[in-house]
């Protein structure tokens, strides 16, 4: 186990490890379009919608997640990524839709049963159990514990052996995630990055087939980021599937085998990172088209004309500004359509940095 820790970290880029090559090979024939069919999907979702009042947060027609690869779910702020995550893992109920894990429908299955099936998630705002020690945090993660039933709990001989085994496994995971020195510390004393590591390690205690990471890099310092990247890649080497939400484009480019892009609740593009990054729809939705081009006099005139015509039209037309190149961002802000302002936010803008945030 510890040997795996360093191996993926040494290889630059998406890596040339056996699992990375295999992942690329498997995905070679998959079409680069939203809702593409995968050869061996672990999660399949159909017609998932979820709205909060008038706002449709998620409206996913069809999506599949390939087994054994690292899939990234990206998109601008407010695209519905975390909501979609919550829906898949049973932490929220969709208004309609059907989704399955390993062929078993997850409709109306409570979150804890989803986790037991082998689909374990982490949270955007890390949820460590502050007043428990690191090792106790890890032990909670183990599934099928005999000592967790009321009657079994009273008699130590019933669960003592299992507890020892779990502790051994926890220790080796802590070693792999470089937390072994913190073993007896309260989880509440860890730094933001260490909490992310602990959460990931704890998720592995359940031995999940699919690990779902919600913004694993949020609020993590650059040095620790590299080691986290290595850890995520090592999950694939273990034969696990990884689905993660991320804002950090470098990380997405670095480790993902496949990228799904969401914007305004819909899936707008899919493909390997290189092809997705070059996709015009993604650039328009995520980065804002040509956002660093110099503003010429003619272009500025055009923006003003468009903006005033929008105002005179009574209400903003949502599709128009995005189609016109070079104007998205500025039209967005001048025409005060907040929707566009959000969509065109540059990738570098980090909304949340919870190094020392609320637990």
Partner 1 sequence: MDWQNIFSLALQQGLGPSAVVYCLAAIGLNVHFGYTGLLNFGQAGFMAIGGYAMAAVVSTWGLPFWLGIVVGLLLAVVLALLLGVPTLRLRADYLAIVTIAAAEIIRQTVGSVSLLEYFGGQDGLTGFSDSFRSLNPFSGSIGIPGVVSWRANDAWVMLVGWILVVICCLIVWLLMRSPWGRVLKSIREDEDAVRSLGKNVYSYKMQSLIIGGIFGALAGFITALKSAAINPSFFATDITFFAYTVLLVGGAARVLGPVAGAIIFWFLLSFLDLFFTQAAATGLIPESIMTSNQASLMRFIFMGLALMLLMIFRPQGIFGDRKELALDAR
Q: Which residues bind partner 1 (CB under 8 A)?
A: 89, 91, 110-113, 115-116, 120-123, 127-132, 136, 139-141, 143, 145-150, 152-154, 156, 159, 163, 186, 188-189, 202-203, 205-206, 356, 359
For residue 235, what are the contacts with CB-CB under 8 A and spacing of at least 6? 70, 204, 211, 242
Minimum CB separation of residue 349 from partner 1 in Å reads: 27
Minimum CB separation of residue 109 from partner 1 in Å reads: 12
Minimum CB separation of residue 87 from partner 1 in Å reads: 14
- Looking at the Cβ atoms of 47 and 113, the one nearer to partner 1 is 113
| Cα gap 308→305, rounded to integer Å | 5
Minimum CB separation of residue 49 from partner 1 in Å reads: 23
- Looking at the Cβ atoms of 193 and 271, the one nearer to partner 1 is 193
Residue 8 in contact with residue 17, Cβ under 8 Å? yes
Residue 283 in contact with residue 323, Cβ under 8 Å? no
- Residue 230: name the closest of 219, 216, 218 by CA: 216
Between helix 222-237 and helix 2-10 the angle, nearest 10°, is 110
- Residue 285: name the closest of 263, 316, 317 by CA: 263
- Looking at the Cβ atoms of 113 and 181, the one nearer to partner 1 is 113
Cα 357 to Cα 165, 193, 214, 219, 220, distances in angstroms = 34, 11, 16, 9, 12
- Looking at the Cβ atoms of 188 and 278, the one nearer to partner 1 is 188
Distance of CA 242 to the CA centre of its chain: 9
- Looking at the Cβ atoms of 242 and 316, the one nearer to partner 1 is 242
Minimum CB separation of residue 90 from partner 1 in Å reads: 8
Minimum CB separation of residue 187 from partner 1 in Å reads: 8
- Looking at the Cβ atoms of 56 and 143, the one nearer to partner 1 is 143
- Looking at the Cβ atoms of 154 and 294, the one nearer to partner 1 is 154
Minimum CB separation of residue 50 from partner 1 in Å reads: 18
Minimum CB separation of residue 272 from partner 1 in Å reads: 29
For residue 343, what are the contacts with CB-CB under 8 A and spacing of at least 6? 76, 263, 264, 285, 286, 288, 322, 332
- Looking at the Cβ atoms of 298 and 356, the one nearer to partner 1 is 356
């Amino acid at each position: 186990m510890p040997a795996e820790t360093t191996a993926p970290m040494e290889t630059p880029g998406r890596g040339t490890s056996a699992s990375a090559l295999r992942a690329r090979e498997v995905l070679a024939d998959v079409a680069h379009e939203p809702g593409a069919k995968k050869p061996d999907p672990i999660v399949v979702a159909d017609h998932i919608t979820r709205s909060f009042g008038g706002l449709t947060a998620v409206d996913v027609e069809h999506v599949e997640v390939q087994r054994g690869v690292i899939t990234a779910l990206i998109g601008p702020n407010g695209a519905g990524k975390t909501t979609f995550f919550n829906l898949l893992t049973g932490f929220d109920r969709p208004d309609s839709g059907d989704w399955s894990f390993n062929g078993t429908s997850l409709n109306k299955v409570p979150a804890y049963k989803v986790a037991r099936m082998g689909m374990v998630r982490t949270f955007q705002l890390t949820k460590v159990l502050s007043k428990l020690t690191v090792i106790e945090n890890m032990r909670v993660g183990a599934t099928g514990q005999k000592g967790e039933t009321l009657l079994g709990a009273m008699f130590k001989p019933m669960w003592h052996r299992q507890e020892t085994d779990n502790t051994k496994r926890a220790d080796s995971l802590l070693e792999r995630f470089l937390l072994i020195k913190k073993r007896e510390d309260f989880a509440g004393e860890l730094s933001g990055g260490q909490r992310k590591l602990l959460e990931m390690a704890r998720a592995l205690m359940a031995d999940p087939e699919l690990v779902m990471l919600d913004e694993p890099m949020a609020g993590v310092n650059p040095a620790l980021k590299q080691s986290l990247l290595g850890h995520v890649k090592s999950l694939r080497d273990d034969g696990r599937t990884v689905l993660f939400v991320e804002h950090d484009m470098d990380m997405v480019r670095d480790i993902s085998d496949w990228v799904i892009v969401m914007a305004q609740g819909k899936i707008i593009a899919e493909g390997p990172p290189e092809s997705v990054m070059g996709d015009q729809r993604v650039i328009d939705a995520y980065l804002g088209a040509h956002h660093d081009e110099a503003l010429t006099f003619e272009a500025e005139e055009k923006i003003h004309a468009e903006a005033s015509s929008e105002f005179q039209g009574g209400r903003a037309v949502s599709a128009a500004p995005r189609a016109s190149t070079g104007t998205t961002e500025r039209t967005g802000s001048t025409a005060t359509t907040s929707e566009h302002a959000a969509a065109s936010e540059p990738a570098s803008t980090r909304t949340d940095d919870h190094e020392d945030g609320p637990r």
